Structure 1
Amino acid sequence: MASITKRTSDDGDVSYFVRVRLKGYPLQTATFKRLTDAKKWAASTESAIREGRHFKTNEAKRHTLAEAIERYTREILPTEFTNVEQSNRRPILEWWASQIGHCVMADLSTATFADCRNTLATSGGRKGRPLAAATIKKHFVVATDVLKRCVNEWHWLEQSPLKDGGIKLPELPRGIVRFLDDDELNRLTAACKESPNPLLYPAFVLAISTGMRQSETMNLYWREPETPPSETAWGVVNLAESCIILHETKNGDRRRVPLASQALAELQKLNKIRRLDSALVFPSPTHPSQPIELKKAWLNALKRAEVNNFRWHDLRHCTASYLAMGGASMVEIAAVLGHKTLDMVKRYSHLSDVHIANVVERMNSKLFGGG
């Protein structure tokens, strides 16, 4: 049976002390500031004990978070995530194990994870440096998934302390959109074309024409490799169908990338002079089994073109920006870039304002006649 006792402190603060005692089970207690919360906890705890779902005193005290992480790494990662995502999650899981892996499941609380959040924000990165908001969020996405398995699949925990966003995480900064204006595009295109490195220009054209990530571009093969790279995105060129098939991507989806115009022409040229000792489209001249390193050639091209504050990844922003200004919808841009949701492409929405205005104007002209 459950009993609730109202308590008033010397300062006048009111709290409600709950006792849940069932024959054959240890006494369970908790304190709440609101009577409604106290009643809910009493009812749910009593029900969980009767139905054998209350693990606070058994399974939750038998297992540590380190055990949960080890089981998650062994059973969940290889079966439910791509190689790329596995490589992303492993160091995060190792971090959680090093910080609070010793804690038994019953001792985990929102306060425990709040302390970890603070550590990540102040000294959780390499060499004790703070981590970016997006990286902190990723750590909690992984931890939340581990605890979810503990609750729903393994029954090591009654309720996750990270359920329903109990931890306030740093807000993500608004995405920066940096794309080349016409003059910058012309200068950089010329600089890449004139580069002593013959692979810079075709790689540049392919990246800006398709919106592929750098890892996807640099790990392209003419044929499927015998041993695909295990920790990065990769794909295969299909000139017969004028496309690229990306077998591993950041979000785990297989993606078909159309090839057209200059991008297709550049790959056709490379195909005629490709190396016989490598299946890579952009192989290293000294280590043909590995992708070429274009960083030096790229930086020299940027300097020669007098283009500042621009990264290779910004070529992907260029693709999306040009699509938006050309009238592509957010759904279409997401499909090209390989995003599962529209959140990542909303940053380009302002670039399509003129197109949207034209669409509305055409609709009104059709309905009410042009003026």
Structure 2
Amino acid sequence: MQAFIGASLLSSSAAQPKRKPFEIYDRRLQGFTLRVQSTGVRSYYARFGRNRRVVLGKVGTLAPEEARERCQKVLGHFAHGRHPLHGIGGTDAITLGMFIADTYTTWVKASRPRTAANTLEKLHRLFRTWYPEPLTAITLERIESWKARRLNAGRSAATVLRDLFTLSSVLRRAVTVGELTENPVRRVDKPRIDRRGKVRFLDQAEESRLRDALKARDEEMQKLRTAANERRQKRHKELLPRLTHFGDHLTPALLLSMNTGLRRGEVLKLRWACVDFDRRLLTVEGRNAKNRQTRHVPLNEEAMSALQRWREQSGSRRRLFDVATGFRTAWEKLLKRATITRFRWHDLRHHFASRLVQHGVPLNTVRDLLGHSSVAMSLRYAHLAPDQRREAVAKLNEKPLLALTMRLQWDGFPAGSHYRIDSMVEREGLEPSTPAL
């Protein structure tokens, strides 16, 4: 039903309660709605977008003219990309839950499509009790109290810091669109974390066991496939593809990760078009990289061989590893078989970087290969190159050059004489010169 929503309509029989709820749409202002409940409650609504609406107020507490004015503001805010309730009844009218549902969700899905679902799930899991509260109720003191409870409950500093960044993303967006004047998370005393702590990588014995377990796994799968094809052949059924080199995707994916340092997500999204066998180069596309920057990683002999054999076995499909579920189950079974504990797939990346540093590769080169935005991220591996630091400390065992030069001048040797020149003079039988007075 359409009508002009005003005082005359409210007093007429057309706007009185009936057996079922109904709505009256304003004839002049599209989106302005009067909803009449069977209980007798009558409320003003503003409708906008696709099946979205907000309550403006109830009949009796809000005059129709005021409700119409509020509706115009709501529709105007929505048209300009702001939260519909901005400035209506104070910013306290906008709760955290409303802002996440109406504004943040749309933005995060568009700007961070890969991580949006995880971010929204984490927000609901950690802060759902705050959803009914106004944005302005999320104060510095409240966040500090939440942080202290998390740390006291045994959560690591790194975990709490990541959770704070998630909340900060929402509040930062609220500042951007004008719902808050500041982001209180910025003033929170962030928990300190050791970014250069112990790095988990495989020792020689562990790496040997891992490779042996991979080989045994492939051989078992190949034997099972051969036996299965023999049975199928007897029954005149179509044979399954031969496993000529590997049992499945696990071995080539692991060898590639171990020799390139790629992240698991980067490995899963690799396309054959990104592999240049002629130049022995692998391209990680920016859209699949964590920092959105394309990088090129050289392929060593083992990585090249694994990819060539895997392509021969798997065919020329678009992706290298067309696996929807990833490697978790197979990976966990492999670790158990190799009797390796506390080692994640991501630690293969640490293993790659650690081996490079141990072989004397500069940290800046390691940074470039890993795709880190700054060398600070790669400093966690610095302790694995101890020879240079030992050499630096060993310099203290030698005589300082400046003091030695002064002593040589005093003893009659010219300035600029070679370091340890006194021993050389004795060896060559030279006579010291007389210093100028």
| TM bracket (short chain) | 0.5 to 0.7
Does 2:193 align with 1:193?
A: no
- The answer for the alignment partner of 1:101 in structure 2 is 131
- The answer for the alignment partner of 2:320 in structure 1 is 281
Describe the shift of the 1:303–1:78 C-alpha distance in structure 2 as closer, same or farther (beyond 3 A). Answer: closer
SS in 2 for 1:348: helix
Q: Report the CA distance between 1:269 and its aligned residue.
A: 1.5
Further displaced range: 166-175 or 153-162: 166-175
1:110-129 superposed matches below 5 A: 110-118=140-148, 120-121=150-151
For 2:328 and 2:106, the matched residues in 1 are separated by 38
Describe the shift of the 1:245–1:309 C-alpha distance in structure 2 as closer, same or farther (beyond 3 A). Answer: closer
Given the two structures, how large is their TM-score scaled by the length of structure 2? 0.55
Q: Is the 8 A contact 1:110 1:162 kept in 2?
A: yes
- The answer for the alignment partner of 1:160 in structure 2 is 183
For 2:93 and 2:333, the matched residues in 1 are separated by 59
For 2:92 and 2:337, the matched residues in 1 are separated by 63
Letter in 2 for 1:326: H
Does 2:137 align with 1:137?
A: no
**Contiguous gaps of at least 5 residues in structure 1:** 1-54, 124-129, 224-235, 285-289
SS in 2 for 1:273: helix
- The answer for the alignment partner of 1:243 in structure 2 is 282
SS in 2 for 1:257: strand
Larger radius of gyration: 2
1:171-250 superposed matches below 5 A: 171=193, 175-196=197-218, 197=221, 198=246, 199-223=249-273, 236-241=274-279, 242-246=281-285, 247-250=287-290
SS in 2 for 1:256: strand
- The answer for the alignment partner of 1:40 in structure 2 is none
Q: Report the CA distance between 1:134 and its aligned residue.
A: 2.3
Q: Report the CA distance between 1:206 and its aligned residue.
A: 0.7
Describe the shift of the 1:99–1:181 C-alpha distance in structure 2 as closer, same or farther (beyond 3 A). Answer: same
For 2:192 and 2:284, the matched residues in 1 are separated by 36
For 1:308 and 1:117, the matched residues in 2 are separated by 31
- The answer for the alignment partner of 1:259 in structure 2 is 299
For 2:328 and 2:190, the matched residues in 1 are separated by 40
Letter in 2 for 1:218: L
Aligned residues, how many?
Answer: 286
Q: Is the 8 A contact 2:104 2:170 kept in 1?
A: no
Q: Is the 8 A contact 2:96 2:130 kept in 1?
A: yes
For 2:394 and 2:376, the matched residues in 1 are separated by 27
- The answer for the alignment partner of 2:329 in structure 1 is 295
CA deviation profile, 1:295-342 (whole Å, cap 9, x unmatched): 33x455445544444333221111111111122222222222222234
Structural RMSD (CA): 3.7
CA deviation profile, 1:142-195 (whole Å, cap 9, x unmatched): 2223223333x222223332233x245474686431222233323322332332
Q: Report the CA distance between 1:68 and its aligned residue.
A: 3.0
Describe the shift of the 1:111–1:333 C-alpha distance in structure 2 as closer, same or farther (beyond 3 A). Answer: same
- The answer for the alignment partner of 2:97 in structure 1 is 66
For 2:339 and 2:101, the matched residues in 1 are separated by 50
Q: Report the CA distance between 1:208 and its aligned residue.
A: 0.7
Q: Report the CA distance between 1:350 and its aligned residue.
A: 0.7
For 2:332 and 2:179, the matched residues in 1 are separated by 52
Describe the shift of the 1:181–1:333 C-alpha distance in structure 2 as closer, same or farther (beyond 3 A). Answer: same
For 1:92 and 1:292, the matched residues in 2 are separated by 22
For 1:63 and 1:327, the matched residues in 2 are separated by 56
SS in 1 for 2:184: coil
Q: Is the 8 A contact 2:195 2:380 kept in 1?
A: no
SS in 1 for 2:257: helix
- The answer for the alignment partner of 2:308 in structure 1 is 268
Describe the shift of the 1:213–1:122 C-alpha distance in structure 2 as closer, same or farther (beyond 3 A). Answer: same
Describe the shift of the 1:118–1:283 C-alpha distance in structure 2 as closer, same or farther (beyond 3 A). Answer: same
SS in 1 for 2:303: helix
For 1:78 and 1:110, the matched residues in 2 are separated by 27
- The answer for the alignment partner of 1:328 in structure 2 is 361
Q: Report the CA distance between 1:59 and its aligned residue.
A: 4.8
- The answer for the alignment partner of 2:107 in structure 1 is 76
1:86 to 87, 111, 116: 116
**Contiguous gaps of at least 5 residues in structure 2:** 1-85, 222-245, 399-415, 421-437
For 1:56 and 1:120, the matched residues in 2 are separated by 34
For 2:124 and 2:197, the matched residues in 1 are separated by 29
Describe the shift of the 1:141–1:265 C-alpha distance in structure 2 as closer, same or farther (beyond 3 A). Answer: same
SS in 1 for 2:185: coil
Letter in 1 for 2:277: L
For 1:68 and 1:254, the matched residues in 2 are separated by 34
